[in-house]
Homo-oligomer: A and B are copies of this chain.
Amino acid sequence: MKYESQEYWASLIKMSLSRFFILHVLHSQSLHGYEITKQVAAITNGCCAPTEGSLYPVLKEFVNNDLVRLEVEFVGGRERKVYTITDSGQRAYAVAGKAWGEVAAYILAAIK
């Protein structure tokens, strides 16, 4: 039954955490899209890594809202879009981190 499956809860979790973790990996370094997914996967054991279908629209949204800045690189003749967090993005990340930090404490208190 779906509610007893790890997959169901993982997909719910992902629904809200992708954006946070995208900002998180960008807050300390500039990365291109493909690398963002891999880094988020690495620090969350795969659970919160956005698929390409959600990653690229989110990055576009972040650029449009000045959370990240886009620069195009060419590596071996191939285009790479490198994203760098802006001051506004850092502030957004700080707010998100505070909000999630509090909630993480509530979760741990609930399940302990």
Given A47-B102, A103-B47, A107-B100, are A88 and B13 neighbors across the interface (CB < 8 Å)? no
Contact: A44 with B4, CB < 8 Å? no
Q: For the complex, what is the distance from the CA of A1 to the CA of B62, rounded to whole Å?
A: 12
CB distance from A109 to the nearest CB of B (A): 7
**Among residues 76 to 112 in chain A, which have CB atoms less than 8 Å away from a CB atom of chain B?**
88-89, 91-92, 95-111
**Among residues 1 to 26 in chain A, which have CB atoms less than 8 Å away from a CB atom of chain B?**
1-6, 8-10, 12-17, 19-21, 24
Q: Report A's interface with B, CB cutoff 8 A.
A: 1-6, 8-10, 12-17, 19-21, 24, 43-45, 47-48, 65, 67, 88-89, 91-92, 95-111
4 further A-B contacts with Cβ under 8 Å, apart from A1-B65, A20-B107, A48-B103, are A4-B95, A8-B95, A10-B99, A24-B111
